[in-house]
């Protein structure tokens, strides 16, 4: 009975997603982005996740005025809605249109850092619009595998992954079998893209925004064992459906370092990004949870 109810709920969720998907396809990406942002701004404040986001923000920025926290969360919902509104458009967008909307920057590295992505890690976060990476890597002619956590609803997950499924791009599910595939892909000189800002129950405990947080150790452990580089990147929304993608110099570490030390360095970068644009981070996740 429980499974039947779950399957029915999944089906209705799927229908709702399809309706919005084709609704957004009726418009230009700019209009879809705007409409998605406004819809999420209205709906988000009514969801239980809004309380989680407010609690997380208050935890990390206790001295911030409540009115400012509310404004950040409102902008966060608008950003998430824009991501949804834009998602049906990236897959079919021409390369020339994409490069007009997405520019590259190298804050502490030379553009040649892109040349060392194959065979190494590129880590990022649920920040700005992480969904454009697949298209970006395809345009840059970088063969890459992206590690992802499947959506709870397999029907919705299929829709999302169809937009990520591009030439030269593969997807790897999180898990033990995923770790084996990551190692194989690195050995085949493919870049491994990972979003590492969410809680991983079997991860290591390192500081994040001032509090102990379970964090994946996989990139650090594999980089140490197989002598791989770790490059960080973020996508920053600059205006509407336009972005700047920052690529940073490889994280400095030696092969006597611990995974805890390396992932602390990674988290320090993420903290800096979040403090710069808190409205562009995914505050609705229960990041700290139970340790």
> What would the pLDDT profile of 202-254 be if each residue is shown by its tens digit?
899 999 999 999 999 999 999 999 999 999 999 999 999 999 999 999 999 98
Q: What is the pLDDT of residue 290?
A: 66
pLDDT at position 291 over 60: no
How far is Cα of residue 109 from the mean position of the Cα atoms in its chain? 22
% of the chain residues with pLDDT over 90: 81
Higher-pLDDT residue of 261 and 4 is: 261
Confidence band, pLDDT 50/70/90 cuts, at residue 9: confident
**123 in Cβ contact with 230 (< 8 Å):** yes
Instruction: Please report which confidence band the pLDDT of residue 1 belongs to, taking 50, 70 and 90 as the band edges.
Output: low
CB atoms within 10 A of CB 38: 15
Query: What are the Cα distances from residue 31, in Å, to 34, 43, 253?
Result: 5, 18, 44
Separation between Cα atoms, residue 121 and residue 86, nearest integer Å: 26
Mean pLDDT for the stretch of residues 259-280 = 97
Helices (H), 188-279: 218-226, 259-276
- Whether residue 2 is predicted with pLDDT greater than 70 in this model: the reply is no
pLDDT at residue 121, rounded to an integer: 98
Does the pLDDT at position 268 exceed 70? yes
User: What's the mean pLDDT when you consider all of the chain?
Assistant: 94
Distance in angstroms (rounded) separating the CA atoms of residues 47 and 169: 34
Please spell the DSSP secondary structure of 119-167, one letter per residue. TSEEEE-SBS-GGGHHHHHHHTT--EEEEEPPPSSHHHHHHHHHHH--T
Rounded to an integer, the average pLDDT of 128-144 is: 95
Extents of the domains making up the chain: 1-90, 97-281
**Tens digit of pLDDT for each residue in 155-186?**
888 888 888 888 889 999 988 888 999 999 99
Give the span between the Cα atoms of 79 and 128, in whole angstroms: 7
Structure-block tokens of residue 142: 């970088």
Of 177, 185, 261, which Cα lies nearest the Cα of 217? 261
Average pLDDT over residues 284-291: 83
């Amino acid at each position: 009975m429980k499974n039947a109810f779950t399957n029915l709920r999944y089906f209705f969720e799927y229908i709702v997603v399809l309706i919005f998907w084709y609704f957004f396809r009726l418009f230009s990406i700019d209009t879809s982005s705007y409409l998605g942002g406004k819809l999420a701004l209205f709906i988000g404040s009514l969801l239980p996740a809004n309380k989680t986001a407010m609690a997380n923000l208050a935890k990390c920025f206790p001295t911030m005025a409540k009115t400012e926290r509310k404004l950040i969360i409102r902008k966060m919902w608008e950003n998430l809605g824009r991501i949804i509104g834009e998602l049906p458009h990236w897959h079919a967008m021409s390369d020339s249109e994409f490069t007009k909307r997405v520019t590259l920057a190298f804050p502490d590295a030379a553009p040649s850092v892109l040349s060392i992505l194959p065979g190494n890690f590129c880590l990022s976060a649920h920040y700005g619009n992480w969904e454009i990476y697949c298209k970006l890597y395809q345009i840059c002619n970088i063969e890459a595998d992206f590690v992802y956590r499947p959506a709870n609803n397999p029907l919705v997950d299929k829709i999302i992954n169809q937009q990520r499924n591009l030439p030269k791009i593969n997807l790897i599910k999180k898990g033990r079998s995923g770790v084996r595939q990551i190692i194989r892909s690195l050995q085949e000189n493919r870049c491994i893209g990972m979003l590492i800002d969410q809680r991983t129950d079997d991860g290591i405990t390192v500081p994040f925004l001032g509090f102990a947080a379970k964090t994946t150790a996989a990139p650090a452990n594999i980089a140490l064992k197989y002598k791989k580089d770790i490059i960080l990147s973020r996508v920053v929304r600059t205006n509407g459906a336009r972005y700047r993608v920052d690529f940073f110099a490889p994280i400095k570490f030696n092969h006597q370092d611990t995974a805890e030390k390396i992932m602390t360095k990674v988290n320090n970068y993420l903290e800096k990004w979040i403090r710069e644009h808190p409205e562009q981070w995914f505050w609705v996740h229960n990041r700290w949870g139970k340790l």
